[in-house]
Amino acid sequence: MTQPSASPVLRARDWLFRDRRTGAITVAQWPNLPLWLFFGLMLAAWLARGAEPAATWLSLAADVALGWWAIDELVRGVNPWRRLLGLATLIGLATLIALRGGG
């Protein structure tokens, strides 16, 4: 007796969210170094608001940390969802920088 094939929704979920190394469903992960740096630098930039040029440099460093995280996810993400998240973050970051007039 053969098993019925999984529904298209389950196959799509598995393709998108299944970790290619462990087989586990992975939507979110504990933040890694670049993401912790981003959070810390954004907090520091917020606390330093109005204290130029420190706030600007801290904000720029936060952008770099977020870009580092996004590129890492795009290249080494454990599943297509994580890679798409990295790509979307890069696009959003580039758009934000362009709107700020920094590029």
Percent of the chain scoring above 90 in pLDDT: 74
Instruction: List the domain range (segments joined by +) for residue 12.
Output: 8-100
Model confidence at 95, in pLDDT bands (50, 70, 90)?
A: very high
Tell me if 3 is assigned to some domain: no
Tens-digit pLDDT profile for residues 77-94: 999 999 999 999 999 999
Q: What is the pTM of this model?
A: 0.84
CA angle 5, 76, 95 (to 5 degrees): 105
The yes-or-no verdict on residue 20 having pLDDT over 80 is: yes
Q: Which helix (H) or strand (E) holds 38?
A: helix 33-47
**Region for 50 from its dihedrals, namely left if φ exceeds 0, alpha if ψ lies in -120 to 50, beta otherwise:** left
- If one counts the domains in the chain, the total is 1
pLDDT at 1: 47
